[in-house]
Amino acid sequence: MKDLWNNSFRNARNIIYLARNYYKPKNLTKFRSMSSLPNNSSVVKFYSGEKIPLELHKVRVVQKLYLVPIERRLEALQEGGYNSFRLSTKDVFLDMLTDSGTNAMSDNQIAAMFQADDAYAGSQSFYRLLKAVNEVLGKEFYLPVHQGRAAENILSVAYVKPGNLIPMNYHFTTALAHITQNGGSVVELLYDEAYRIKSQHPFKGNMNIEKLDAFIQEKGVENIPFIRMEASTNLIGGQPFSIQNLRDVRTIADKYGIRLILDASLLGENAYLVKQREEEFKNTSLGEIILTMTGMADIVYFSARKLSSSRGGGICTNSKTIYRELEALVPLYEGFLTYGGISVREIEAMAVGLYETLDETMISQSPEFIAYLVNALDAKGIPVVTPAGVLGCHVDAMSFCEHIPQTQYPAGALVAAFFLVSGIRGMERGSVSNQRDENGNETYADMELMRLAMPRRVFTLSQVKYVEDRLTWLYDNRHLIGGLRFVYEPPVLRFFMGGLEPVSDWPQQLMAKFHKDFGDSL
């Protein structure tokens, strides 16, 4: 009891400290040590014994949502080419497309936006952000960019030459697109466990160290400009890597003299899972875990739309040489070096958001809601990626829709079907999100996933229960879901604006069954 009290007291003290000092955190070391508690997350044990992810925040600004009738949802799908990116939010009830730019902002972030210093060059907002980058990410130099893919563009233009190979723990769509645009190729080097949907492995995002070493020896150091590690591999279920694995990757990078680049877009959540799952770090604060990870990378880049619940992005390093190699590309592609295409208001929100990444009760909220949903679905036998990762709940469409061949995009079909029966918008993370090879052939994804993103502090637990309910119904009626085919396919990043159509009248049949079971209910 005493421990519990101490925990919540220290926890509250952390938050007050953070709130008061977010713009002048003079004594970050003190803050870091205060938060180094074994359990400082948002999960609370109820009298019943159940552990519930409790909302440790209150809702002070709300946005009304509409659950439109299923007939309208079908029309919306038809208008949007059965592509959830092309739906209008007026037709969407729970928007689980992504956490990118959709995390709830804190009162302190919004307050900070009012002190924005509008200036083309030398804005004080930039210097406040630079300080946050120095302190939270431990990097001296920072190049602002308007979002994550802009960092990928700059890094690829600077370092990727035709024929180059980039080993990584997994690709992200935009990283792959920029690397291939510059003539390079991506090589994913994971352990087999990463591709298993159901697993107990705590770090499915780990780089396969033996394969990495052998790969560099076989292909030659001169063809490998950098190794890319992605925190919480987005496309294979938001699975983290361990710090031990990053240490091993660093050792290999040093052995061959290759740069190590860390995609830190989902770093906070990866750090949280390190604390939960890696014995050595169970008593370490998130701040120290984050610094341990960033300290091993030559370059850290990120999408601030994710990392700091704002907009923007960045590239950071402690190497003056690297900074100089990249510096000129920022004004060329983004904007002057003290704003990089980001609005100064967002720069302020980003600085505060970076400090808030150190708050474990905040960072734990999304992964704990995800774990709640994943475990509930898993208990019902609904195929989801386990263990629960970050970013969202990932439903295995290959198994959910095992009657749909991969040529008919089972993950795309599942996303469309789920929107139809629930108004919930997920994202296809399967073959539709893949790009064709250089000969124009389909490259089928390793996994066909429907991702239901859980932006930070946006949904309530009853909304999560609605997700569980409608997905359970759909699972029981899964034989009614049919495939999709492309009718419009853009040459690059086709999943964003591509258009598809159902291969039969399955949406109408699914709607008829919905009416049979739910009557007039929405």
Ligand X SMILES: Cc1ncc(COP(=O)(O)O)c(C=O)c1O
366 binds ligand X (CB under 6 A): no
Report which residue's Cβ sits closest to ligand X: 148
Length of the chain: 522
32, 305, 345, 456: which one binds ligand X (CB under 6 A): 305
Strands (E), 157-258: 165-168, 185-188, 226-230
Closer residue to ligand X, CB minimum distance, 205 or 383: 205
84 binds ligand X (CB under 6 A): no
* 172 has catalytic annotation: yes
346 binds ligand X (CB under 6 A): no
C-beta neighbour count of 376 within 10 angstroms:
19
Q: Which token pair is 7?
A: 């925990």
* 495 has catalytic annotation: yes
303 binds ligand X (CB under 6 A): yes
The Cα–Cα gap between 503 and 214 comes to 44
Closer residue to ligand X, CB minimum distance, 307 or 351: 307
The Cα–Cα gap between 287 and 250 comes to 20
180 binds ligand X (CB under 6 A): no
| CB of 71 vs ligand X, minimal distance in Å | 32
Catalytic residue among 95, 263, 359, 396: 263
- 155 with 301: CB under 8 angstroms? yes
Number of residues that bind ligand X (CB under 6 A): 15
147 binds ligand X (CB under 6 A): yes
The Cα–Cα gap between 240 and 243 comes to 10
Helix ranges, 22-166 (H): 28-34, 70-79, 107-113, 124-132, 148-159
14, 35, 265, 433: which one binds ligand X (CB under 6 A): 265
234 binds ligand X (CB under 6 A): yes
The Cα–Cα gap between 26 and 4 comes to 28
* 294 has catalytic annotation: no
Closer residue to ligand X, CB minimum distance, 52 or 186: 186
Q: Which stretch binds ligand X (CB under 6 A): 48-56, 260-268, 468-476, 491-499?
A: 260-268
Helix ranges, 308-364 (H): 320-327, 329-333, 344-356, 360-363
User: What's the chain's Rg over C-alpha atoms?
Assistant: 23
Choose among 214, 248, 210, 216: nearest CA to 229: 248
Catalytic residue among 142, 172, 191, 466: 172
| CB of 148 vs ligand X, minimal distance in Å | 2
Closer residue to ligand X, CB minimum distance, 149 or 457: 149
Task: Collect all residues with Cβ–Cβ distance below 8 Å to 431 and sequence separation of at least 6.
Answer: 406, 409, 411, 412, 442, 443, 444, 445, 448
| CB of 3 vs ligand X, minimal distance in Å | 36
Task: Collect all residues with Cβ–Cβ distance below 8 Å to 173 and sequence separation of at least 6.
Answer: 235, 433, 493, 495
Closer residue to ligand X, CB minimum distance, 73 or 306: 306
Strands 392-396 and 499-502: unpaired
Catalytic residue among 128, 139, 204, 306: 306
31, 141, 172, 409: which one binds ligand X (CB under 6 A): 172
148 binds ligand X (CB under 6 A): yes
| CB of 305 vs ligand X, minimal distance in Å | 4
Task: Collect all residues with Cβ–Cβ distance below 8 Å to 238 and sequence separation of at least 6.
Answer: 232, 266, 269, 370, 385, 389, 390, 391, 392, 394
240 binds ligand X (CB under 6 A): no
| CB of 65 vs ligand X, minimal distance in Å | 23
| CB of 99 vs ligand X, minimal distance in Å | 8
* 284 has catalytic annotation: no
Closer residue to ligand X, CB minimum distance, 99 or 368: 99
361 binds ligand X (CB under 6 A): no
Q: Residue 296: what are its φ and ψ, rounded to 5°? A: -90, -10
Q: Which stretch binds ligand X (CB under 6 A): 144-152, 183-191, 379-387, 513-521?
A: 144-152
Catalytic residue among 3, 30, 51, 120: 120
Helix ranges, 365-409 (H): 365-379, 397-400
* 263 has catalytic annotation: yes
The Cα–Cα gap between 78 and 129 comes to 44
* 298 has catalytic annotation: no
* 117 has catalytic annotation: no
**Which residues are marked as active site?**
120, 172-173, 263, 306, 429, 495
Residues that bind ligand X in the complex, under the rule CB under 6 A: 100, 147-149, 172, 174, 230, 234, 263, 265-266, 303, 305-306, 313
